């Protein structure tokens, strides 16, 4: 591999990290509250709103069942509205976020549903408002599960980000296709794959480490 490819790989890695970080961040800002609401709004639950729960559930399912590459193309007008352009790395953040938000919502919903109903009852018996129960009980208790869910979301987004080359979003996936496939440079393809493997490993390990820091459910190892 010639030395002048190194800056190109570095550039592409930074673009991938930028797209994944931004879409995770915005996706969590949208998907987080949505997940909390989905987890607590069925009939008879804390924020009981069965109709809204069903409706939002349908929207989330619809978004999640659309193949990502079709989503990317289908929302080009919307992307242009938000980002001012439908081409480029920043524009690619729009479809990535729209794919991430419902996914993150479901992951957070699942984590929150895992919290023992007895804790909600105890908090209600203390005179807690629904908002206090969410802030002081549900989210802190679900934190290890939420962190692992976000880790899964980041790993998936690294994969998705490779597909946004189709609309001119750059990054590692796009580099692999353009140089590795279209210009017959298999060493670039290999380098891209290796970088992606390393990224995913780092994200997964970091996520597990942070989740373990939050997890007080098992007695801590008090070894050496």
Partner 1 sequence: MTGPAISFQGVTRRYPQKGDSDVVALHDIWLDVPQGAITGIIGRSGAGKSTLLRMVNGLERPSAGKVIVNERDVGAASDASLRRIRREVGMIFQHFNLLASRTVAENIALPLEIAGEDRARIAPRIAELIERVGLTAQAGRYPAELSGGQKQRVGIARALATGPRVLLSDEATSALDPDTTRQVLELLQRINRELGLTILLITHEMAVVRDICSHVAVIEGGRIVETGETYEVFSKPAHPTTRSFLTGVTGVAVPQFVAGQMQDTPQGPEAQAVTQITFIGSHATDPMLARLTAERGISINILAGAIEEIGTKPFGSLIVALPAARLEESRRFLEEHGLLTEVLGYVG
Using CB under 8 A, list all residues that contact partner 1. 116, 118-119, 121-129, 132, 136-137, 140-141, 143, 214, 216-220
Quote the CA–CA distance of 42 and 134 in Å, as a whole number.
15
Q: How far is the CB of 212 from partner 1 (least distance, A)?
A: 13
**Structure tokens given for 92:** 């690619």
The 8-class DSSP code of residue 136 comes to I
As a dihedral over the C-alpha atoms of residue 121, residue 125, residue 131, residue 136, rounded to 10 degrees, the angle is: -80
Residue among 183 and 220 whose Cβ is closer to partner 1: 220
Least spacing, CB of residue 136 vs partner 1, in Å: 7
CB nearer to partner 1: give 7 or 219. 219
C-alpha closest to that of 39 among 106, 133, 124, 136: 106
Nearer to partner 1, 36 or 94 (CB): 36
How much of the chain is helix, strand and coil, in % rounded to 5?
80, 0, 20
Q: 105 with 35: CB under 8 angstroms?
A: yes
- Distance from C-alpha of 209 to C-alpha of 213, rounded to nearest angstrom: 6
In angstroms, what is the minimal distance from the CB of 44 to partner 1? Answer: 12
Give the residue with the Cβ less far from partner 1, 217 or 224. Answer: 217
CB of 79 to partner 1, least distance (A): 39
């Amino acid at each position: 591999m010639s030395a002048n490819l190194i800056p190109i790989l570095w550039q592409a890695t930074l673009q991938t990290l930028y797209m994944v970080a931004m879409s995770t961040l915005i996706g969590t800002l949208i998907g987080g509250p949505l997940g909390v609401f989905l987890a607590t709004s069925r009939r008879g639950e804390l924020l009981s709103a069965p109709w809204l729960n069903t409706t939002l559930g349908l929207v989330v399912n619809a978004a999640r069942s659309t193949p990502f590459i079709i989503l990317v193309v289908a929302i080009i007008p919307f992307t242009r509205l938000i980002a001012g352009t439908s081409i480029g790395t920043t524009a690619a953040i729009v479809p990535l976020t729209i794919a991430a938000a419902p996914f993150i919502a479901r992951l957070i919903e699942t984590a929150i549903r895992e919290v023992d109903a007895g804790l909600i009852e105890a908090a209600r018996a203390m005179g807690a408002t629904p908002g206090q129960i969410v802030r002081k009980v549900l989210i802190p208790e679900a934190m290890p599960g939420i962190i692992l869910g976000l880790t899964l979301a980041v790993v998936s987004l690294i994969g998705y980000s490779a597909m946004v080359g189709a609309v001119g979003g750059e990054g590692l996936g796009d580099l692999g296709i353009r140089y590795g496939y279209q210009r017959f440079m298999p060493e670039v393809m290999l380098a891209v794959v290796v970088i992606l493997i390393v990224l995913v490993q780092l994200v997964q390990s970091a996520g597990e480490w942070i989740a373990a820091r939050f997890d007080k459910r098992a007695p801590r190892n008090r070894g050496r």
